[in-house]
């Protein structure tokens, strides 16, 4: 506790009562500016997260398109091999004759 200045006899005494003032705010989290600042940071992080998810979705879409292209090419290649093999087997079996002039 704070001591009072010396009285008339030069004695220093300790006060017996506490000061009647409003205590200062010890917790800055109660300040609305702090809350608004934290909400702003959270909002920017959520926006960044949404952008990241969108970019990953686009990348996954590109991979899906590439896979579908390869699957289509394999189906076409398979059909060409089957048709070519069938024609070749007919030629080799003698059911179709091919003459070159």
* pLDDT tens per residue, range 61-85: 899 999 999 999 999 999 999 999 9
Q: Establish if 46 belongs to a structural domain.
A: yes
Q: Establish if 8 belongs to a structural domain.
A: no
Q: Which residue has the tokens 């960044």?
A: 48
Q: Establish if 42 belongs to a structural domain.
A: yes
Residue pair 14/1 in contact (Cβ under 8 Å)? The answer is yes
Range of the domain at 80: 30-93
Residue pair 3/14 in contact (Cβ under 8 Å)? The answer is yes
* pLDDT reported for residue 41: 92
Q: Establish if 14 belongs to a structural domain.
A: no
DSSP 30: G
The SS3 of residue 14 is: coil
Q: Which tokens sit at 62?
A: 């590109």
* pLDDT tens per residue, range 27-66: 655 677 777 888 899 999 999 999 988 888 888 889 999 9
Residue 90 Cα to chain centre, angstroms: 59
Surface-to-core class of residue 78, CB atoms within 10 Å of its CB (0-12 exposed, 13-18 middle, 19+ buried):
exposed
Q: Establish if 24 belongs to a structural domain.
A: no
Q: Establish if 5 belongs to a structural domain.
A: no
Q: How many domains does the chain have?
A: 1
């Amino acid at each position: 506790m704070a001591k009072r200045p010396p009285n008339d006899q030069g004695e220093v005494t300790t006060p017996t009562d506490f000061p009647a003032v409003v205590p200062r705010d010890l917790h800055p989290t109660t300040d609305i500016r702090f809350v608004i600042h934290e909400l702003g940071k959270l909002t920017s992080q959520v926006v960044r997260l949404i952008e990241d998810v969108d970019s990953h979705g686009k990348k996954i879409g590109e991979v899906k398109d590439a896979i579908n292209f390869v699957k289509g090419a394999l189906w076409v290649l398979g059909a060409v091999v089957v048709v070519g093999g069938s024609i070749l087997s007919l030629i080799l079996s003698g059911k179709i004759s091919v003459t070159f002039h």
